[in-house]
Structures are given as structure tokens and as C-alpha cells.
Amino acid sequence: MTPPTAVSAVNLLRTASESRALRAMTAPQLAALAQEMRDLMLDVVARTGGHLGSNLGVVELTIALHRVYTSPYDRLLFDTGHQVYPHKLLTGRWNRFAELRKSGGLSGYASQAESEHDVIENSHASTVLSYADGLAKAYRLTGQDDRQVVAVIGDGALTGGMAWEALNNIAAAKDRRVTVVLNDNGRSYSPTIGGIAEHLAASREGTGEQPPGELFRSLGLGYLGPVDGHDITALEAALTEARTLGPTVVHVVTRKGFGYPPAEADDDEKFHAPGLFDPATGRKLPSTGTSWTGVFGKEMVRIGAERPDVVALTAAMMGPTGLAGFCDAYPERTFDVGIAEQHAMGSAAGLALGGLRPVLAVYATFLNRAFDQLLMDAALHRLGLTVVLDRAGVTGDDGPSHNGMWDLSILQVVPGLRIAAPRDAARLRSLLRAGIDIPDGPTVVRFPKGAVPEDLPAIGRIGELDVLSATGAQDVLVVAVGPLARAGIETAALLRAQGLGATVVDPRWVKPLDPALAALARRHRLVLVAEDSCRSGGVGDAVARLLRDADVDTPVRTFGIPAAFLEHAGRAQILDEIGLTSRHMARSATEFLARRSPMRWPLPVSLGGPHPLSSTTATRETAS
């Protein structure tokens, strides 16, 4: 591996973005281009974070795709987007690549706003074949029969049922121009599991009883391969042949991390999304603090030692969700079901029916896919299973599809479901154990991405509510959900500086809410709810509903994430932009109460400038 290069040292990439120039390159030039691309990705991802191993593995494949097909007229679609960096480099974005995943810079996934070459930007796996099926149908119906649709999907994503639903439909139409490029590297995050993985391994190695690709041929699809995914000439030959056929699978064998020895030797997922590291050695740079994921993972190992009935499930994310330690300690009680969240939830329901206590760990954004199973398979049967949602709330630089902002809204309608939102490591441990102990319905425990803060002990307890702060008069009740507890305390301090008293509580369980919250709200003039989730249908709405049902007329103001797809940026920057900080909350409370009693409250100069409302305006609004 040559030393990493800076963007200014890029040579061939400057011209490769023009398709005719790319097609005119000689074999030595293409090899040099591939090296430039790898060097640039390595240099940038080491400093910005992002997906590395998967992108290093598809450099030659992406070059071949852009030499055989004419994008954007021919449509190149990528499943999950973990492998789109080479595509970005070859479509004119090499000179912006240093700003990868930074605010205002390139997204870590495909992005329609960035380029006409990016067709889809949903980074959830196993979806691309459905897009391809629909797009090919659209071109046929509109007379654009010469446009090719190419869907690149990994072997890991083929463990998802949606991919096979799409293949079933693609195979039924022999006249559509759909090419399925199966990027087979034997891994998703970790090694691909199940019968599909075994079939592909036999095809790769020539050890199966059936010819390679017989599974796809039996569905009525064409099949070419296996093809060496790092041989541009062989790739071009297979892709060129596929252009002349009906729906065809081109089976491409690649190596994740190819060209960078530390990533090629990675057997424990470190270089899938490595974070910051030293590109010269491959060593990860020191991180600050213990992660929420790490706290969960260690507690699961302890629980597993105490309770032989506890089992763990993951959807192809053993390490990222913190279950690797549990798997090492109790491999017979750990189940990786592949990228199949729906099946994971259904299987967890079956385990619970069998008398075990399953814990299913997924990223919060991926729970959306298993909602029906949680509702109809787990909750309907009042099964004792626990869903642990990692990366809940704003995740920041991962982009709009990975913010875990939907769960507290969509889960409010599930009967019998209990949802816990811990504020620190101590609460995560205790609430996880409490959730596993509940026998008559599913539980959810959610926590954010990143380092867990220092423990924040309560100063008292009202019902199930932890009281974190109580100062002065009972003007404002701050309901701080989970990791926003510290922001709630800071809000109370800012209010106190304005002469307002505040009580800060952490509900711990946000579904169902403790009725004690309604009684407490009755004694305050305003309720502020701070939640790291979507405002629409979230905890704030549940608090308002609780108060209405209890005939409490204290007004409620909710601070959370707007119902919008947030662009990638750092978590702190996003929280500030959407007003989910103590400064914003204190200012809003002060202004609201000033409008209610304009002559009583001082102007909130310390909260960011002069009061925006004149006394005349405030009096008029109060009177109305």
C-alpha cells in the first residue's frame, strides 16, 4: 500500500469523471486509478470516520460499472450505500471528498442533492432490488427501453426477505433490462450467516453439489459468474454480456478491505466503520469515555451469567450493538439472524413463547422495519421480550436515514408496551434488568450513540419519577427524557437566574407515563418536555394527553426533533440548530411566562439578547 495521498495529489481522478476519458484508459492507468481511489479514501476516512472496508472492496467493480454503463442515463443503484465512495469519486466529487460526513460536505451515503448520478439514498439494506424492479417497469411503460437498470447488492443484504420478494418479481419479466450485481464478500458487518451464505460460499469455492448460481437459475434468472471482483477486464466482460440478456445476476466475488492489509485482515468488524485511526498502522485512535453500547454489552454478560433463560438476538450487527461479549460467553444462547429485523422480532417472539427471555439489540432506525412484528407478534401475545435500541435520537454525521428519531412516536400506539429511556450508565443497567424481568409484555430500552455521561443521581423520587432538581417557586416543570437530563438541569439553572423556579424530573419509563406526573404538573405554571426524538407523537404529546385526561390545564411545550430528514452534521450542531439545548428551552419558557404575566418577569438578557417582544405586544397577547 502506498502512503495515503492528499486530495491535491490526485491525478487520474481529475479526468476519470468524464466517461469517455475513463473508457480510454489503459490497463496500467486503470490500476493506477484504483490505487489513487484507495489512497484518497483511506486518507479521508481515517480523519472523518465512515465506511471503509466495504468501499475498498468495490473499487475495481465501480470502475468497471462506469466503463460499461453510461450513468446517469443508465441507472446505477447501490444497496445500503456502504460502498458508494468509489462511485462518488468517479462522478466528479473527488475534489469535495475531504469534507466527507461534515456539515455542508459530502454525505456518507448516496445523496440525490449531491449528484444526478445518485438515484436512491435510503441506506437501509435489502431495498435496492425493489427500486430496480419498479424503475425498470417505469422505463418499459414510458418507452425508454434502452435504459439499463443495475442494482448492486451485497451477500449480506440478501439475508433480508425484501430482497427475495423483489427477485421473485424481477425474474417474472424476461424483457426488462435489470442486472443484479451480487457483491459477494462473505460479510455484512460480520460474516454472512444462513443457507444463502452457504450456497454462495459453495459457488465461490466450487464445492457445491449443484453448479454455481443454480439457486438463481431455478428462479428463472440468468446467472454469470463467479467473477473476480478485482479483475477489471473480467468484470467488464461479464457486465457487457449481462447488458444483452434479460434479468441476470452477475455474481462478483470481492474482498472487503482489499488493498489495505489491516482491513483485509480484519475479522472483527473494526474496519467496516472504523472511526478515526492512523492510516499508516491501522490502529484506532483513542476514544474518550465509555460508550452507551459498551455499558449495555458488559451488563448483558453479567445478566447472562445470572440468568440462563436470557438469550440475545441481532440482525447482522453483533459487534456494533454490543452483543459480541455475550456471544463469546454464551454462543449457544446468541442468534445472528442476518439483515432481517422482521424475522429477528418474530423469532424473539417464538423464543419468548418457549419460555426464554430474549433481548433483541438493533439500531433505533432499523426498528421501523420490525414494527408489525413487535405489534402483532410480541405485544398482541403479551410476550416478555426486550428490544434494546442503540443509536436512538440524533446520530449526526451518519445522515438522515440513521437518526433514531422515530421510535418514541411509532411505539406509542402499541398496547402493553413499556419504554425506558435511561439518562446514564446506572439507569441503563437498572432499567435493562427491570425490562427483562417484566413477564407480561414487551419492553424497549433506548440510548444514544457516543460516550455515556457521568452518573446523575436523583435527589428524590415522586412515584416512578426521579427528581433531579427543585429550585425556588414551582413555575416550570422540566420533563427531561433520558440523556437530556443534564440539559434539563442546565435549563433550570438558567431559569433560576431569571427569577423563575423549576423542578426537573426524569420519568425513566416514558410509556406508560406515571400518573404522578399529572399531579406534579398541576402545581406548575408551565411544563417543558425535552426528548431526543421526533416531536410529532412523541413523549411531549403523551405528556399533554396525560394532563388532558387528568383535567390538568397546565400548558405543555415540547422540545424535540422536527418531523424532517436532518442533514448530516455533528450531534451538538444539530441539537443547537433544532433548538434542543438548555439555552433555547430556558428562553422559550421565560418568554412564554412573560407573555402570561408581562410585568412580573425581567427581560432574558442572559439567554441570548434582549426580549423580542415589547411590553405592548406581550400585554396584547396575554389579553387575547
Q: Binding residue per annotation — 157?
A: yes
336's grid cell: 445472528
Quote the CA–CA distance of 348 and 344 in Å, as a whole number: 6
Quote the CA–CA distance of 533 and 401 in Å, as a whole number: 14
Q: Binding residue per annotation — 230?
A: no
The question of whether 177 is a catalytic residue gets the answer no
Q: Binding residue per annotation — 82?
A: yes
Q: Let me know: does 344 contact 360? Beta carbons within 8 Å.
A: yes
Q: Let me know: does 494 contact 607? Beta carbons within 8 Å.
A: yes
User: Out of 187, 369, 423, 508, which one is annotated catalytic?
Assistant: 369
CA 49 to the chain's CA centroid: 15
Cα-Cα end-to-end distance for the chain: 72
Q: Binding residue per annotation — 125?
A: yes
Helix (H, G, I), strand (E, B) or coil at 482: helix
Q: Binding residue per annotation — 549?
A: no
Query: Residue 407's CB: how many other CB atoms inside 10 A?
Result: 23
Integer-rounded Cα radius of gyration of the chain:
27
The question of whether 369 is a catalytic residue gets the answer yes
Q: Binding residue per annotation — 185?
A: yes
β-pair partners for 229: none
Amino acid identity of residue 15, one-letter, is: T
Q: Let me know: does 611 contact 599? Beta carbons within 8 Å.
A: no
Q: Let me know: does 431 contact 375? Beta carbons within 8 Å.
A: no
Amino acid identity of residue 394, one-letter, is: V
Q: Binding residue per annotation — 139?
A: no
- What H or E segment, with its residue span, contains residue 432? helix 425-437
The question of whether 357 is a catalytic residue gets the answer no
Q: Binding residue per annotation — 156?
A: yes
Quote the CA–CA distance of 385 and 436 in Å, as a whole number: 7
Q: Let me know: does 504 contact 553? Beta carbons within 8 Å.
A: no
User: Out of 236, 341, 490, 531, which one is annotated catalytic?
Assistant: 341
Burial class for 107, CB neighbours closer than 10 Å (0-12, 13-18, 19+): buried
160's grid cell: 433480508
Find, among 293, 334, 296, 295, the residue nearest to 315 by Cα: 334
Find, among 87, 69, 91, 66, the residue nearest to 78 by Cα: 87
Q: Let me know: does 183 contact 153? Beta carbons within 8 Å.
A: yes
Quote the CA–CA distance of 213 and 179 in Å, as a whole number: 15
User: Out of 93, 176, 204, 256, which one is annotated catalytic?
Assistant: 256
Kindly give, in sequence order, each residue whose CB lies less than 8 Å from that of residue 396, ignoring residues fewer than 6 positions away.
449, 568, 569, 570, 571, 573, 574
Enumerate the known binding-site residues for thiamine diphosphate: 82, 123-125, 156-157, 185, 260, 341
Enumerate the known binding-site residues for Mg(2+): 155, 185
Residues with active-site annotation:
256, 341, 369
Enumerate the known binding-site residues: 82, 123-125, 155-157, 185, 260, 341
